[in-house]
Amino acid sequence: MALTLLLLVPIVFLFLKHFLFGARQLPPGPNVLHVLGYLPQLIYKPHIALQKLAKIYGPLLSFHLGIQLMVVASSPDTAREFCKTHDRVFSGRHLPTVYHNLPGTLDSSIVLSPECSKSWKLLRSIGQNCVFSSKAMETNARIRKAKVMDMLTLLRAREGQVVHLEDVMFATLANIISSALTSRNLFDIEGQETNDYKAMMALVNEVIEKTTTLGLVDFLPILKVIDFWSKRKAMDMCRKIKLTWGDIVNERRTSAKHDNPSSTKDFLDIVIADGAFSEDQIGNALMELLIGATDSTTITTVWLMVELLKNQEMLSKVRDEIAQTVEGDELSESLLSQCHYFQACIKETLRLHLPAPLLVPHRAIETCKVNNYVIPKDSMVLVNAWGIARDPKYWEDATSFKPERFLASRISHRGAHFEYLPFGTGLRMCPGSSVAFKNIQLLVGSLLHYFDWSLPNGKDLITIDTNEKYVTTLKKEKPLLLIPRLREQNLIG
């Protein structure tokens, strides 16, 4: 009720400013009262609510939440307008007050940088050289291999026991990216309790939610005079980020004074040597890269396992392909990339279970005209990539898992096809899309090749539920609990 009243406060202001003086130039959309009717869905299932609104108002729509103008693209053509034709204009990020209160966020972000600034370009370049480029991925192949072997050793030790698959995937991916960034593990995957993974996953979820989800004060700036909660949330996050990365950064700063200048430098070495970044800025950058490398990829590996375990015929095809990639007793990462059916299964999982259904919100850095409508400066622009990926206009049998649709298709995950944007596109496309794809194929390929999987209490695998929950990213609602059993014909070396 209080939220409803707060949203009704700016009605007069909006009427005067946006209706009497040119609202007709904005894209069509629901009025304030209609938005109020959709409010619960917009909060808890925004991708579905926006899909429904697009069916009423069209593929380019707008509406107000408080005084904030929201603009939504719900078709490949409108997505292209924002992310290609006018890419630079919509390359800003719309960020909540909590983010701006977090110490060190200024000039320390790749994904959430408010604009494509010099520091954004510098950090993205360092990340490209150390993690994202083809050369870096080849160099880091040994890291992926070693961390996946750690995972397999853990699973072999837990053979016959119930395993929380999301925890194991997260810990493995966290160690892969942490080793690439700082040359050290974040977890002792065999020795640490799963509570350690859960605590870090909770922090990841907290940072994602609080740095990307707008609150009341963002929709109603008048509340800033009494806003004490945003700063408190930001300082609490800052403390947790320091606990995660502070010692690592400080140790490296000290050891950097005595390092051999000819030794191989990782991401942390380079940002410290640059001298332009504070401890808070480095910690925030490391946290952001950790999130980017773990959250969406963990979600995708879980959904891929669900879809394949529920369909044994597909699973058999994938296993037959993977078996051809074995060199000695290990999977070959390069040969896995040639498993066309397995690759199609990964692509289809990213289509049907898009981790970031609305991508990361864009912001208009200046007023722009799109499809004869005016998009004012500072509008918040959402691309409903989830809705586009499930639209029957572009996908046959759109809500079914059908990897075959990608076998004869040239559609890829690299952002060139606007009906399929799992990693976004344009200037603000996820820089780690190729790394994520490699991680998914190696992790899931290893899980399927070396182990058979069953449900607790002997339940049929077909009964695995596929319900989702939205918390900025779109995850499986209930944890995937499975029992691994080593496949004797594929013993781990």
Class of the 75-490 domain? mainly alpha
pLDDT on residue 83: 96
- Alpha-carbon span 287 to 239, nearest angstrom: 12
Q: What pLDDT, on the 0 to 100 scale, is given for residue 19?
A: 47
pLDDT at 20: 44
Please, what sign has the CA dihedral across residues 269, 274, 275, 277? Answer: negative
CB 403 within 8 A of CB 314: yes
Q: Average per-residue pLDDT in the chain?
A: 90
pLDDT tier for residue 201 given thresholds of 50, 70 and 90: confident
The response to whether 430 counts as a known ligand-binding position is: yes
pLDDT(258) > 60? no
- Rounded to an integer, what distance in angstroms lies between the CA atom of residue 404 and that of residue 419? 17
Q: Is residue 412 pLDDT above 60, yes or no?
A: yes
3-state secondary structure 340-400: HHHHHHHHHHHHHCCCCCCCCCEECCCCEEECCEEECCCCEEEECHHHHHCCCCCCCCCCC
Write the CB contacts of 326 (distance below 8 Å, at least 6 apart in sequence): 332, 449, 490
pLDDT, residue 177, reads 96
141-179 pLDDT, tens per residue?
999 999 999 999 999 999 999 999 999 999 999 999 999
> Using an 8 Å Cβ cutoff, are 208 and 295 in contact?
yes
Distances from the Cα of 26 to the Cα of 55, 115, 197, angstroms: 18, 24, 46
Least-confidence region, from 4-18, 235-249, 279-293, 339-353: 4-18
Quote the pLDDT of residue 108: 87
pLDDT at residue 4 in the model: 47
Q: What is the predicted pLDDT for the residue at 276?
A: 87
CA distance 382 to 227: 26
Domain boundaries, the chain: 75-490
Which range is least confidently modeled, 106-110, 128-132, 284-288, 301-305?
A: 106-110
pLDDT tens-digit map of 207-252 = 988 888 888 888 888 888 788 888 899 999 999 999 999 999 999 9
- Judged by average pLDDT, the poorest of 216-220, 381-385, 448-452 is 216-220
Can you state the percent helix, strand and coil of the chain, rounding each to 5? 55, 10, 35
What pLDDT is recorded for position 3? 47
What span, in angstroms and rounded, lies between the C-alpha atoms of 361 and 440? 25
Which letter does DSSP use for residue 10 in this model?
A: T
418 within 8 A of 385, measured Cβ to Cβ: no
At 2, is the pLDDT very low, low, confident or very high (cuts 50, 70, 90)?
very low
Q: What is the CA radius of gyration of the chain?
A: 23
pLDDT greater than 70 at residue 14 = no
pLDDT at 206 over 80: yes
Convert the pLDDT of each residue in 42-58 to its tens digit.
999 999 999 999 999 99
| Gap between the Cα atoms of 114 and 120, Å rounded | 9
Residue 6 confidence (pLDDT) above 70: no
